[in-house]
Amino acid sequence: MWCESDQIIARVLAFLQEKSPFRRAFLALSGGRDSTVLLHLLATYGDEFPLTALHVDHALHPRSADWVEHCRVLCDHLGVAFESRRVQVNHGAGESLEAAARSARYAVLADFLGPDDVLMTAHHADDQLETLLYRLVRGTGGRGLAGIRAERSLGPGRLLRPMLAVEGEALAHYAERHHLSWLEDPSNEQARFDRNYLRHQILPRLKKRWPAAAALAAGTARHLAEEAELLESLAGEDRRTAASGGGLSVAALHGMRAARRHNLLRYWIRDQAGEFPSSAGLARLDREVLQARVDAQPELLLAGLRLRRHGGRIYCVPEAPASRSVPAQKDDREWKDLSAPLALPGNGELLLESTASGGLDVSKFRGPPTVCYRQGGEQYHDGRHHRRLKEWMRLAEIPPEQRDWLPILRDGERIVAAGENLLDPSYAAENGLFGYRIVWRKAPA
């Protein structure tokens, strides 16, 4: 007989079929009820892909080693490969323990992924409602109210949440029907954590009064996510217009209406820092950096970055660049597949975006391009003469603290580009012909 458990199975498998193909699948397994349900479902009914369960031990509870063993035994029983990693959670001033643990967890999980791999988490519709309420009371914009995304990039792979449309009560019925057992983390009951307060004190009352609250909130989040995609697309167009020497042109920003300028800056900072700035932070950026005197060089700490104005441009600079080692020659990477981003360990990624005219003509490379960092003494050809790369960086007003991190694109030993700047005109697409723009997505500090 068709039942609620069958609906969950069908919904999850349909979601994964829509997102396929992928090479390998990983599941973030905490050992709690939700991830245990997803593990059982995939192990029992999802036979289309190899599955590995990943458990991250945050070492925040004296019994955390027992939880690792519980997950290992569970996976052995279901015939699923299992990996665990232990992390140390450090959180600074202004950051909650929950947020620090989440950041540490996803950093470890991302390390398992390669291109065409996916990581699945067991977030569900009640988590979506909880997230919307949490962000609403803390203050957020439309992107924040779009809630948890069903899919996003994670490292070189993708993060999928196949149960995001399933309510927690349905998962409880599935677990009961299949006689599943799971771990209960005592910290999940502590009301001093904001999310636990919402989960145990607010959501039950809300759903008792409005039983469809989770489903309706999920629908609202989907609508806002679509609107956020449009805003992100608009920010991408404006970024291409305002891009200047690895930063953004102050003159171009001044030429935009405030709402459009803030939209561009919001996504630009997100790409550098991994998080959106607050509205108050954007207001300070307007006032203290963009409106500063022409001869000033103001700085502002925002979203973990130093925003610096220099030479008619603003730059994002990691808040503590000295704590990161300068990339070494051994980090040279061959860019074999130009249709896919090239990951730069500790330094973001490079990718190519098509442009209607001009840009880079990739057909002129004699072999796969390589990406390296400066070692000193490099020269490039500007079409007439050989020039020192160091002098170009000075004239291009690349901040000194960014110069050792600027990825250099080469064809053999010949320097073609630095960062997003094409230096050798012999590699440019002919006028009116299709080409590519180089995009450097920097890593957060």
Residues 83 and 113 sit within 8 Å (Cβ to Cβ): no
Phi, psi of 349 (to 5 degrees): -155, 160
- Say whether 181 counts as a known binding-site residue: no
CA-CA distance, 305 to 268, in Å (whole number)? 12
Q: CB-based contacts of 224: which residues, under 8 Å, 6+ apart?
A: 142, 143, 145, 146, 147
- Say whether 293 counts as a known binding-site residue: no
CA-CA distance, 73 to 82, in Å (whole number)? 9
Residues 41 and 8 sit within 8 Å (Cβ to Cβ): yes
- Say whether 31 counts as a known binding-site residue: yes
> What amino acid occupies position 281?
G
> What amino acid occupies position 358?
G
In angstroms, what is the C-alpha Rg of the chain? 24
The neighbouring-strand residues paired with 53 are 27, 82
CA-CA distance, 70 to 55, in Å (whole number)? 10
Chain centroid to CA 37: how far?
26
CA-CA distance, 94 to 99, in Å (whole number)? 10
SS3 13: helix
Q: CB-based contacts of 410: which residues, under 8 Å, 6+ apart?
A: 369, 370, 371, 372, 416
CA-CA distance, 213 to 203, in Å (whole number)? 9
Structure tokens at 346: 């500790």
- Say whether 117 counts as a known binding-site residue: no
Residues 56 and 84 sit within 8 Å (Cβ to Cβ): yes
Structure tokens at 118: 């996916």
- Say whether 32 counts as a known binding-site residue: yes
- Say whether 6 counts as a known binding-site residue: no
Annotated binding site for ATP: 30-35
Could you tell me which residues are annotated as the binding site? Answer: 30-35
